[in-house]
Amino acid sequence: MNSSNKCQWEVSEAEAGTRLDKWLAAAERLGSRSRALTAIERGRIFIDDLEQGSSDAARKLQPGETVRLWMDRPGTAQKRYYERQDAGLHLLYEDQSLLVINKPAGLLTVPLPAQPDEPSLLDQLRRYLRPQGKREPLVVHRIDRDTTGIVLFAKTHAAQQQLKSQFESHEATRVYLAVVYGHPNPAAGTWRDLLTWDRKELKQQRAKKRPERAKEAVCRYRLVERFKDSALIEVTLVTGKRNQIRVQAGLRGHPLVGEKIYVYEAPPPKLIRFNRQALHAYRLGFHHPIDGRHMEFESAPPDDFQQLLRQLREVTA
């Protein structure tokens, strides 16, 4: 720390909550926001010995943290990739430990044993990583074939294990948007069911008793927008069972628009045409498996989902 190209500061109580880039831009430090952002992007800023990247520029500082500038650090910062289209993939984020992908409708997350030749997101990632000499992509969680939105993969077994543990302990945040028939009442609440996977029918069933294989499924919902015969709802998963939102909404008489399996009552008198279940995984939050920093990603619903909302608003107006 005595080298002339290294400086370090301690965050005071009065400075707590200030953005990292703004704090570094102060006259007594780097003197401008552009210099601060350049230093962050080039891997020259460390907080308590953890390198900071572009996604950390907006992080809020905590009192007592030590911020270090290493101006002449040899080499370049650890390579991080941000949102882009590459090899047919919509990548929201990539680094040496993980990949965050925005999955389109009609694509499996992973191959099905009964349909090994069916295209999947996992296969696409294998092709993307293979020329770079990188490891096999590792599954952290999945979403249904016709559900769109954010899916997380790991690049190492250590990262996969750490990320999966966050999902299993309900630390990860998974938020979906869905269009359902009817208007859930109350407008916000919790759905809680015992579900069991029917291996013959290949779908979830509500457990009549509490058999050994039954698992508790829990999610929180809130009504976002009310239409004439339907509603846009936001659903936050507490647990993450297969087809969970689809089955829990259907069990309460609010099947998803476009749903073909989990419809427990007679079809609504006025059918809303949509080619898939109207479900989109739009927000995912977790802690980075290596340095523990909080990461959160959002993905706007795709064009078909947006068009559905416009049509429902026109009918309601």
By annotation, the residues acting in catalysis are 144
Token reading at 296:
């959160």
Helices (H), 95-230: 121-129, 157-168
Q: Quick one: DSSP state of residue 308?
A: H
Residues 221 and 230: their CA atoms lie apart, in Å, by: 15
5 sits in which H/E element:
none
Task: Count Cβ neighbours within 10 Å for each residue of 232-268 and write b for 16 or more, e otherwise.
Answer: bbbbbbebbbbbbbbbbbbbbebbbbbbeebeeeeeb
Question: Cα–Cα distance between 64 and 41 in angstroms, integer?
Answer: 23
CA distances from 248 to 97, 111, 117, 234 (A): 34, 25, 31, 13
Contact (CB, 8 A) for 19 and 59 = yes
Tell me the longest C-alpha to C-alpha distance in the chain: 76
Structure tokens at 72: 């002449």
Residues in the chain: 317
Instruction: Specify which residues 194 forms β-bridges with.
Output: 216
Can you give the three-state secondary structure of 269-288, one letter per residue?
CCCCCCCCCCEEEEEEEEEC
Q: Which two tokens stand for residue 293?
A: 């920093």
Question: How far is CA 167 from each of CA 1, 24, 241, rounded to the nearest angstrom?
Answer: 40, 35, 11
Q: How far apart are the first and last CA of the chain?
A: 65
